[in-house]
Structure 1
Amino acid sequence: MLHESVLRTVDLPVTDRFDAWTQQLGRTHAPMQLASDRAADYRGHQRLIGLGDVTVWPATFDHLVFRRTPKLVRQSDPEVFHLSLLLRGEGAAVWGGQQAAYGTSDFHVNGSSRSYEIVTGPDPVTIVGVEIPRELVALPAGRAERVIGRRISGREGMGALLAQFLVQLASDTGPYRPSDAPRLGTVVTDLVTAVFAHAVDDDLRLPPDTHDRTLVLRAKAFVHRHLPDPELTPARIAAAHHISRSHLYRLFRAEGISVAAYVRDQRLANVRRDLADPALRAMPVRAVAARWGFPRAAEFTRAFRTAYGVPPGEFRRQALSAGSGAAARGRGRSAK
């Protein structure tokens, strides 16, 4: 599991909550002046996920006004870009005489080297924030800064690819090892660079390896969306991205895996998760397999046993038995 640190203001005395939140965001991005009409009893929840030089931080918090003044910029500038993917709520930003409003599934971009004011709506907001050093964004000087303050859609194009990756990562860091963190940071860096380049019509200046990694990520996102389809083939994946199968094979070989193995492994991981889910215990194993693109039972059973060392039915019995035992132990402790 990736290393995370968590702040929940409800765990603190009421009088300390807003100050703690202010200090935390100052460390997360850069020192800011914060204000809120809920400061007397502030509710905020932030997870900090370290990915090498990049930080991802899912958060939900009450109404807030962020001000990074010219004086604060002069006093401290970590030279980072910040992106916020707004998942719930609304907000607006003012910078350099310009302003923009943001809604659900929009990205807002700012930088620690510029002064700004950001205001969220009256209801709590939920975001996934990203902090990325300026030097990691592989665009010519001055190009990336043109994205600051702009509203970028997380519903389509490159913005959607970045949004999908961040939401999936934030929803469950359990499958990743600490050693995966720098690699995941590189993925975020490449996607942010691609999003910025697209926003300023600068795609052709992207380094070739960034193009390739971005294309791999697009292909993987396509695979995840179509896993239930038993007709998901390399030819179909390649056609969806307007490349040849040989090009697709080369891209995945650079990742250390074949296209077919990646599809199979993702399907097996989803089946494994569903077999361990008590809510799905009534669904036959073969139905769970078919749900994730395995229409032939014998082929699926061989693949599952090879991957996990036991037949799928036995795995389900062990997983559900272990879950029931843990729940019973928890109830016993609660009764004491």
Structure 2
Amino acid sequence: MALFDTSQPLACEFQDQGRHSRVSVLRLPRAAVPLPWDKTDHLVATPLPTRTGSGALLTSYLAGLRENAEHCGPTELRRLGTMALELAVTFLGARLDSAPTLPIESRRRVLLARIHAFIDHNLHEPDLGPATIAAHHHISVRLLHALFEEEPETVSATIRHRRLERSRTDLVDPRLRHRTIGEIADRWGFRHPAAFSRTFREAYGISPTEARTAPHAEQPCTPRRGPGHRSPAQ
């Protein structure tokens, strides 16, 4: 990873390694980065480590965002963009040894981004839930629920919604027609096929079989608001 400043000339060279390469660019307005830029400027055009810590988390998050952004709505994209900004600020702050000076809200957003990334990477685990998530991040379950008070859904509803979305995507994927509905459900943490079918119908108004065989199968289903969803007024 490298940092560059659009107010300065930029020239990039990429070594040909005989395979297709993809580059992700995250644009950060200076006004949105609460770091001393007289120090941050020293990081411009230098290799930045990405294999551990916040660097690994940031690169993984950006890669996942690039692959899944087209399936997200405007509101969701704004929230995801905010998380990317906070992760980037934490990453740069660590390079400057300025992490303790980050605003409380920034630290809260970074923690929330870590939690969302953890949920995404562990949807296949049937036991994924508030207690597991809180223990992994060394916080209380009460604090975890407090972090989600301003999110569109509760912790449990977020897990259920993302599992259903991943399942629906697999069901309508022609490349996965060889997999049974039960196998797809199990892949995303649903232990019991009958419970999965019931939950799927409650969310989308059709059964998993209907979603797979409908003429519009490749178009996303419109989810209904289930338990744990919060309206904007809440």
TM-score range, shorter chain: 0.7 to 0.9
1:310 aligns with 2:184: no
Matched residues, number: 217
1:243 aligns with 2:142: no
CA distance, structure 1, for counterparts of residue 78 and residue 170 of structure 2:
29
- Decide whether the 8 Å contact of 1:305 with 1:312 is kept in 2: yes
CA distance, structure 2, for counterparts of residue 318 and residue 190 of structure 1:
41
Q: Give the structure 2 partner of residue 131 of structure 1.
A: 27
1:108 aligns with 2:2: yes
Pairing 1:291-310 to 2, within 5 Å after superposition: 291-310=187-206
Q: Per-residue displacement from partner, 1:256-306 (whole Å, max 9, x unpaired)?
A: 321111111111111001110112222221111011100112221221111
The alpha carbon displacement at 1:153 in A equals 2.6
Q: Give the structure 1 partner of residue 41 of structure 2.
A: 145
Larger radius of gyration: 1
Q: Give the structure 2 partner of residue 221 of structure 1.
A: 117
The alpha carbon displacement at 1:239 in A equals 1.2
The gaps in structure 2 that reach 5 residues or longer are 220-234
CA distance, structure 1, for counterparts of residue 129 and residue 80 of structure 2:
26
Task: Flag the 1:240–1:146 CA change in 2: closer, same or farther, 3 A.
Answer: farther
1:121 aligns with 2:20: no
CA distance, structure 2, for counterparts of residue 284 and residue 117 of structure 1:
50
Task: Flag the 1:272–1:181 CA change in 2: closer, same or farther, 3 A.
Answer: closer
Q: Give the structure 2 partner of residue 26 of structure 1.
A: none
Task: Flag the 1:219–1:319 CA change in 2: closer, same or farther, 3 A.
Answer: farther
Task: Flag the 1:286–1:319 CA change in 2: closer, same or farther, 3 A.
Answer: farther
Pairing 1:148-163 to 2, within 5 Å after superposition: 148-163=44-59
SS in 2 for 1:132: coil
Letter in 2 for 1:212: R
SS in 2 for 1:160: helix
Task: Flag the 1:125–1:229 CA change in 2: closer, same or farther, 3 A.
Answer: closer
Letter in 2 for 1:197: G
Task: Flag the 1:231–1:207 CA change in 2: closer, same or farther, 3 A.
Answer: same
2:150 to 245, 254, 259: 254
The TM-score, its normalising length taken from structure 1, stands at: 0.59
Task: Flag the 1:179–1:252 CA change in 2: closer, same or farther, 3 A.
Answer: closer
CA distance, structure 2, for counterparts of residue 312 and residue 289 of structure 1:
10
CA distance, structure 1, for counterparts of residue 164 and residue 192 of structure 2:
14
CA distance, structure 2, for counterparts of residue 232 and residue 321 of structure 1:
29
- Decide whether the 8 Å contact of 1:274 with 1:288 is kept in 2: yes
Higher relative contact order (CA 8 A, sep 6+): 2
CA distance, structure 2, for counterparts of residue 206 and residue 233 of structure 1:
29
CA distance, structure 1, for counterparts of residue 61 and residue 215 of structure 2:
28
Greater shift, 201-210 or 143-152, is seen at: 143-152
The alpha carbon displacement at 1:242 in A equals 1.1
Question: Higher strand proportion, which one?
Answer: 1
- Decide whether the 8 Å contact of 1:159 with 1:195 is kept in 2: yes
- Decide whether the 8 Å contact of 1:278 with 1:320 is kept in 2: no
Using the aligned pairs only, state the percent identity: 33
- Decide whether the 8 Å contact of 2:34 with 2:89 is kept in 1: yes
- Decide whether the 8 Å contact of 2:211 with 2:217 is kept in 1: no
SS in 1 for 2:24: strand
Q: CA RMSD in A?
A: 2.2
The alpha carbon displacement at 1:320 in A equals 7.4
Task: Flag the 1:256–1:181 CA change in 2: closer, same or farther, 3 A.
Answer: closer
Q: Per-residue displacement from partner, 1:57-106 (whole Å, max 9, x unpaired)?
A: xxxxxxxxxxxxxxxxxxxxxxxxxxxxxxxxxxxxxxxxxxxxxxxxxx
SS in 1 for 2:86: helix
Greater shift, 180-189 or 230-239, is seen at: 180-189
- Decide whether the 8 Å contact of 1:277 with 1:320 is kept in 2: no
